[in-house]
C-alpha cells in the first residue's frame, strides 16, 4: 500500500502542467480511493455534489459564527478575560487596573474586533471556489490568493486528510484572510456530506480566524491590532501553558504531525473547539460547575474516551497527568455560563 501511495504522489508531483485545482482533485480522488478509470463516473458525481454544497457550507458558517462569538460575549466570558488579563501580560492593562477597567478594554477593543472578524471572514468552497473579497482587490489578486489556498490544501492532503478539511489563510500585508473548506474530505464515496464534521471544521477555522487577525503579540495599548506575522494572539498568550500540558511525541504519531498538533495556534483552536462542543452537549451540566468552571473528573472521562480521541487528535498529545493544568487552560479559553448551558440544552432537544 505504501508503495502504491508513493507512486501516486510521485505521479502527481510530475504533473507540472496541471492547475492547482486539478492537483487538489487528484489528491481527493486518491483519498477517496477513486483512482481507476472505472471510478471516473463516481468521481464526477462527487465533484458535482461538492460544488453544490456551497450553500450548505454558507448556512453552517453563518450559524457557527454566532456559536463562536457567544463564547467570547457572555458574563462569564468577561470574567474569564479578567482572570486571564491578571495572569498574562496584555496591552492597556496593568496590575493596578480594576476589574471594571479591564472589562472596558475588553468591550471597547477586543469584542468589536472579534465580532468584525467573525461577521466578515469569507468561507469558500474549495471544490468550486469563488472570489472571496470585494472590488478593492483585483480579480487577478483574488485568484492568486485562492490559488495559494488550493496549493496548501493539496500539500496538506499528502498527510492526514483531516488537516485538509479546512484552513484559514491570512495575508498580513493586506490584512485579509478567508476560510477554505474542502468538502471532498468531508464526503463519503457516495457523495454524502458529513454535516457534523463540517460544522466542527468551520468552528475550528473561525477560531483560527479570530486568533490570527487579533495579532501576533499582545499589543502595547489599544487592545487589538492586525497581525504582522500571521501568528495567533491568544495562541501566543497561552503558548507557555500549552507547553506545560503537552506530552512528548507518542510513538505512533509522525514527527511532522506531532509538530503540527503542538503548534500553539492549533492547540488553542482545537481546545476551544472541544470547549464549545462540551457547552452544546445535552449533558453539559455534568462538565461545568455553577461558576462555569470545568469539572475535572468529567473532563478526564471525556479525554480518555476512545471515540473522542478519534475525533479530536489533539487529545493524543495532551498530558492527562496534568489534568488540573488542562482544565485551567480550558477555563481561561472561555468559561461557560450555566444559563447558556441550559438554554443550549433546551434548544438542542
CB 12 within 8 A of CB 23: yes
Query: Would you state the pLDDT for residue 58?
Result: 97
CB 172 within 8 A of CB 179: no
Range with top average pLDDT, 116-125, 148-157, 220-229: 116-125
Query: Would you state the pLDDT for residue 42?
Result: 92
Q: Collapse the DSSP code of 335 into the 3-class scheme (helix H, G, I; strand E, B; otherwise coil) and give the result.
A: coil
Radius of gyration of the chain measured on its C-alpha atoms: 21
Query: Would you state the pLDDT for residue 224?
Result: 47
Q: How far is CA 162 from CA 17, 33, 157, 165, 281, in A?
A: 27, 16, 8, 5, 23
Query: Would you state the pLDDT for residue 182?
Result: 95
Query: Would you state the pLDDT for residue 138?
Result: 92
Query: Would you state the pLDDT for residue 339?
Result: 40
pLDDT band (50, 70, 90) for residue 230: low
Tens-digit pLDDT profile for residues 58-77:
999 999 999 999 888 877 67
Mean pLDDT of the chain: 82
> Residue range 80-99: average pLDDT?
76
> Residue range 194-198: average pLDDT?
95
Q: Which helix (H) or strand (E) holds 30?
A: helix 20-31
> Residue range 276-305: average pLDDT?
88
Tens-digit pLDDT profile for residues 295-331:
999 999 999 999 999 899 899 999 999 999 999 888 8
Cell 483560527 belongs to 208
Compute the 3-state secondary structure of the chain and give helix, strand, coil in percent, each to the nearest 5.
65, 5, 30
- Is 290 or 136 the better-scoring residue by pLDDT? 136
Query: Would you state the pLDDT for residue 218?
Result: 46
pLDDT at 225 over 80: no
Query: Would you state the pLDDT for residue 76?
Result: 60
List the domain boundaries for the chain: 18-231, 238-349
Amino acid at each position: 500500500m505504501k508503495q502504491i501511495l508513493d507512486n501516486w504522489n510521485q505521479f502527481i508531483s510530475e504533473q507540472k502542467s496541471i492547475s492547482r485545482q486539478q492537483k487538489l482533485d487528484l489528491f481527493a480522488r486518491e483519498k477517496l480511493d477513486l483512482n481507476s478509470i472505472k471510478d471516473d463516473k463516481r468521481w464526477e458525481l462527487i465533484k458535482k455534489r461538492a460544488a453544490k454544497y456551497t450553500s450548505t457550507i454558507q448556512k453552517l458558517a453563518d450559524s457557527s459564527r454566532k456559536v463562536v462569538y457567544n463564547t467570547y460575549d457572555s458574563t462569564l466570558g468577561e470574567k474569564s478575560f479578567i482572570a486571564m488579563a491578571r495572569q498574562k501580560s496584555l496591552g492597556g492593562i496593568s496590575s493596578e487596573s480594576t476589574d471594571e477597567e479591564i472589562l472596558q478594554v475588553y468591550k471597547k477593543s477586543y469584542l468589536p474586533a472579534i465580532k468584525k472578524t467573525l461577521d466578515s471572514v469569507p468561507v469558500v468552497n474549495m471544490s468550486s471556489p469563488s472570489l472571496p473579497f470585494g472590488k478593492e482587490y483585483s480579480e487577478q489578486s483574488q485568484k492568486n490568493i485562492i490559488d495559494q489556498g488550493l496549493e496548501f490544501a493539496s500539500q496538506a492532503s499528502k498527510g492526514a486528510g483531516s488537516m485538509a478539511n479546512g484552513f484559514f489563510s491570512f495575508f498580513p500585508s493586506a490584512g485579509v484572510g478567508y476560510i477554505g473548506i474542502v468538502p471532498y474530505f468531508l464526503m463519503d464515496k457516495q457523495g454524502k456530506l458529513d454535516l457534523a464534521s463540517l460544522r466542527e471544521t468551520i468552528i475550528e477555522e473561525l477560531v483560527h480566524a479570530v486568533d490570527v487577525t487579533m495579532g501576533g503579540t499582545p499589543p502595547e495599548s489599544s487592545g487589538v491590532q492586525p497581525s504582522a506575522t500571521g501568528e495567533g494572539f491568544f495562541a501566543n498568550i497561552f503558548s507557555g501553558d500549552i507547553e506545560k500540558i503537552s506530552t512528548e511525541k507518542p510513538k505512533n504519531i509522525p514527527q511532522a504531525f506531532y509538530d503540527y498538533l503542538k503548534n500553539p495556534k492549533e492547540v488553542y483552536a482545537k481546545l476551544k473547539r472541544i470547549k464549545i462542543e462540551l457547552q452544546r452537549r445535552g449533558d453539559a451540566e455534568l462538565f461545568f460547575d455553577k461558576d462555569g468552571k470545568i469539572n475535572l473528573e468529567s473532563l478526564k472521562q471525556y479525554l480518555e474516551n476512545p471515540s473522542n480521541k478519534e475525533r479530536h487528535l489533539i487529545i493524543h498529545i495532551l498530558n492527562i497527568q496534568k489534568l488540573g493544568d488542562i482544565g485551567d487552560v480550558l477555563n481561561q479559553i472561555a468559561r461557560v455560563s450555566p444559563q447558556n448551558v441550559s438554554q443550549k440544552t433546551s434548544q438542542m432537544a
